[in-house]
Structures are given as C-alpha cells and as structure tokens.
Amino acid sequence: MLVVVMGISGGAVVNVNDRRLWVFDMREESEWQRGHIAGAERVDWHHVGVAVGALGVSLEQRILLYCNSGQRSKKARDILVYMGYTKVVNGESWAKAKEIVGDEILE
C-alpha cells in the first residue's frame, strides 16, 4: 500500500509497505509534468545535496532517486554517497522506480 505524507518545504515521504522512503525525481520540469511518482519531489540532480539538507533528510534515511534513463539519478546518488548518505538507491528509470513504490503515478 502506498501512502504519501507531505514533508518539509513541499518535499514528500512515501510509505511503501509501512517503510518510509524519500523519493526524488531528477527529471526536467517538462518531463515531470508528463507524469511522476505520487509524493516524489522534483530536483535537478546537481542540487540534490541542497534539497535533502533543506528537507531535513538524515544520513540514515532511505532515499530513492530516478530519472528517465538512470544517468542523472546515478550522478545524484554519487553526490549523496559522497556526502555520507548510506541508504541511497538509484531507481534508474521512471518505470523501474515506480515498480519499487507501486503503480501510484500522477499524470
């Protein structure tokens, strides 16, 4: 079951099977407008470090990143791992990421 809980400054935490998961969409605004995972926060990959800090995401919290192909989300994952985040998953494409959280998609 997917439940969305609004987080700080418009960010959101997604609960997947009763486990909290921060979800960040690394795609451009135009891509986001065509559809995105419910509860995801859209962030440019190169600003992901600032975004997780502003939202109060702790180093131990679970984070899922995705984009269209996995390239931008990989770059964002590398940034967060460098910053000390320990539970960061590159969900790669939007399609693969939605499998992780379920089929809850906003279009």
For 58-96, how does the pLDDT look when each residue is reduced to its tens digit (9 = 90+)?
999 999 999 999 999 999 999 999 999 999 999 898 888
The pLDDT assigned to 44 comes to 93
State phi, psi for 81 to the nearest 5 degrees.
Answer: -65, -40
Better-predicted residue by pLDDT, 31 or 13: 31
Q: Which amino acid is at 62?
A: R
Distance CA 44, CA 34 (A): 16
Of 57, 88, 53, which Cα lies nearest the Cα of 73? 88
Question: What is the value of pTM for the model shown?
Answer: 0.80
